[in-house]
Amino acid sequence: MGIGGQIRNLFARLTNKTAALQDLAVAQTNTTWTLGGASPRFTRVAFEYSTDNVNYTPLGEGTAAGSKWSRTGLSLSTGQNIYIRARGYYRSGSFNGSESLTESVRNALSPGQPRPMPPSMVQSPRPTVRRWRVRWFS
């Protein structure tokens, strides 16, 4: 078998000038993994949820739509740090006899109830104007 004009036996180095692009977006009711460029084409994607980035709970399989994989119908908890992990599986190896995976983890703070601003941060209706005079000494 030849690659790049050279005969190869089982191994070859391939180069790619196109970057693999991805974005994992998280909302309370859904999560979407958008892929582009030289990203692999997955046969399936699984989404998982964690509060400590160590122990994960399955959220379910994603649904493909073009270059996006989505999981809808979620009810993620609010007011805490969460981690969403997307794992994409694709066939590889000789005669597609192996399965590989690519994963992406997104840390997101799911918004909870809005917190009232402390009184010290509330702006007065009339702003205070301060003037400074700087003198340079040589």
pLDDT in tens, 10-22: 777 777 888 888 9
51-95, pLDDT tens digit by residue?
999 999 999 999 999 999 999 999 988 888 899 999 999 988 778
Compute the C-alpha angle 48/53/54, nearest 5°. 95
103-131, pLDDT tens digit by residue?
999 998 766 655 555 555 555 555 555 55
CA 44 to chain centre: 17
β-bridge pairing 57-61 and 63-65: unpaired
Compute the C-alpha angle 32/38/40, nearest 5°. 60
Q: How far apart are the first and last CA of the chain?
A: 77
26-52, pLDDT tens digit by residue?
998 999 999 998 888 999 999 999 999
* pLDDT for the residue 98: 87
70: its two tokens = 């989505």
* pLDDT for the residue 138: 43
Compute the C-alpha angle 93/94/96, nearest 5°. 65
Which of the 8 DSSP states describes residue 119? Answer: G
Q: Are 50 and 85 in contact (CB under 8 A)?
A: yes
* pLDDT for the residue 5: 78
